[in-house]
Amino acid sequence: MIFERLLFRIFESQLSWTALAWQEYFSYAAIPYDPLLIRPKNLFVKIRFYLAALAVLICLGSGTRALADDGNVFESDKATFQVITVASGLGHPWSMAFLPSGDILVTERSGTLRLIRNGVLQDDPVAGLPEISAQQDQGGLLDIALDPDFENNRRLCISYVAKGEGGRGTEIGCGTFRNSRIQDLQVIFRAAPKSKSGRHFGCRLLFADGYLYATLGDRGKRPQAQDRGTHPGSVIRLFPDGAIPPDNPFAGRSGYQPEIYTYGNRNPQGLAQDPMTGVIWMHEHGPRGGDELNRVIAGANYGWPVISYGKEYFLPKAVGEGTYKVGMEQPIHYWTPSIAPSGMTFYSGSRFPGWQNSLFLGSLKFQELVRLEFDRGQVVAEERLLSGEYGRIRDVRQGPEGALYLLTDAEDGRLLKIAPAD
């Protein structure tokens, strides 16, 4: 035990993405761990784990790669662009939202909501948030989404982790934003059941076609993803006030959670609507390999953990029964090895004509921006950008002026702007 703790303290001190990021990278698998250390309990797995850890430590012993300078120019297949730092000093930022005033709201996983005004991170966090459970794991304050009529009603919603009976779980709260404060916040959804696990909370939010969609991870308890009597491992659909649409696929069925719109999901953390077709897309983390990109289809079962293109952690063993089973959806696109996908958005702006209709998503694992091209609903090209230049990319959004914005997941996280090169 002393050796384990000493090794991890040394190991953590050498990693540029901190102990929390290391935990997030490995905890995509259902490996038991405590909140301080990722420590496999099976002896054989433990030996393999520490051998791998030592190998990585040796590789990193000469130091970590410096981040790229501000204003660097990069070449894409379809565009030449520069990356500019808008703001820094963000603590593991998770999501952002652009206000009509030009201000930007940014969530920090630690449980604070920050305001960036005229390119300056304001000292005082936004007030009026609910009690948020943020520990040294994947939980905390997660996504933020503006009501489509925000300019008139000032309403927004946040997803976050909260304590309750049985442990912790994902919740959604909505309120009005005025004078740097969220007022009259009401909880419109609580995922059930809560658990003591510190991983796989989801939770991306999307307003689309008069509904609010939210992604929920399986909380590291695989069978829940196939159990429609529980929320974890699903995408839910609500009315914006939290009411349940009567045409949800499992509404009115005994023993089913009526909010569930899809199930069989592991840990979906990307959600975006194609502005050209109206189709909603999501991605989710696989285990060791098998990250997936899927269309969101009412009532669909995406297979986890029965089928997967990934393997078990530290063992040369496939997950579940294989990669195909009747009645379960096949991914439109998948990544092996895993890229650990994060936030994503379709590009529809005018500043990068060559990127029109491309889907952009972040990669936490490879610290890069991924661009996908589609033809008739199928991925026909993939491009990797900014590999290792700026660290782990947690969120990707299109700004109101047509630039792309990125959030980097770090203790000193940054909001970056991608603009055409001069």
Which residues are annotated as catalytic?
Answer: 200
| 85 SS3 class | strand
Q: Cα separation of 255 and 221, whole Å? A: 19
Q: Cα separation of 360 and 115, whole Å? A: 24
> Reduced to 3 DSSP states, what percent helix, strand and coil does the chain have, rounded to the nearest 5?
10, 40, 50
Q: Are 294 and 283 in contact (CB under 8 A)?
A: yes
| 278 SS3 class | coil
Q: Cα separation of 155 and 185, whole Å? A: 10
Burial class (CB in 10 A: 0-12, 13-18, 19+), 77: exposed
Sign of CA dihedral 44, 47, 50, 54: negative
Residues 6+ away with beta carbon under 8 Å from 347? 355, 356, 357, 358, 359, 360, 398, 404
Q: Cα separation of 97 and 147, whole Å? A: 11
Q: What type of residue sits at position 329? A: E
Q: Cα separation of 376 and 227, whole Å? A: 33
> 418 is written with which tokens?
């991608």
| 59 SS3 class | helix
CA dihedral defined by 218, 222, 223, 225, rounded to 10 degrees?
30
Residues 6+ away with beta carbon under 8 Å from 375? none
Strand order, beta sheet including 167-178 = 141-146, 155-164, 167-178, 181-190
The C-alpha R_g of the chain, in whole angstroms, comes to 20
Residue 249's closest CA among 234, 270, 266?
234
Q: What type of residue sits at position 400? A: P
